[in-house]
Amino acid sequence: MDRNEKDFRRISRPYLRDPRFRKLRSYIQHGNTSTYEHSLNVARTAFGLNRRLRLRADEESLVRAALLHDYYLYDWHTFGDKLHGYHHPSIAAQNAERDFGISGKERKIIESHMWPLTLTKLPASREAWLLTAADKYCSIREILGRRS
């Protein structure tokens, strides 16, 4: 196992083992990808981009926010909220704050990940831009039926 993988696992392990986070396995995000898999894909992609591009983002906040960016805990396909894309970042941030005690910085990263859809929630940090880009990339791959 290389250093990047060791570092990623060290940061993500507490979340991946937590039964509250594991509930995301019950929900489909895109295509046949669960919200758990999607969140893990996004976290790995954002972490990898940060390392490859040497952007020096706060990796702990980046991975935590990436893992929890869709921590809204419902099936958005049947929830009945036609504006899910606009609402879920705030719901996910509230749930993440309640269950995992995320920082204010991490809350802002999560709340801005749907930009430009959420026009007034502009990503304001390296971590937020990395999460936003990784989420778009992984979502497209999942919708097209590929894994990132």
Please check whether residue 148 lies inside any domain of the structure.
no
Burial category of 73 from C-beta neighbours within 10 Å (exposed 0-12, middle 13-18, buried 19 and up): middle
Number of structural domains found in the chain: 1
Q: What is the pTM of this model?
A: 0.91
Q: What is the structure's pLDDT at 98?
A: 96
- Write out the residue range of the structural domain in which residue 57 sits: 3-143
Q: Please give the Cα distance from 63 to 80 (Å, whole number).
A: 30
Please check whether residue 32 lies inside any domain of the structure.
yes
Q: What is the structure's pLDDT at 99?
A: 96
- CATH number of residue 21's parent domain: 1.10.3210.10
Q: What is the pLDDT of residues 9-62, one digit of tens each?
A: 999 999 999 999 999 998 877 778 899 999 999 999 999 999 999 999 999 999
Q: What average pLDDT does the segment 84-95 reach?
A: 81
Q: What is the structure's pLDDT at 67?
A: 98
Chain mean pLDDT for the chain: 89
Q: Please give the Cα distance from 70 to 38 (Å, whole number).
A: 9
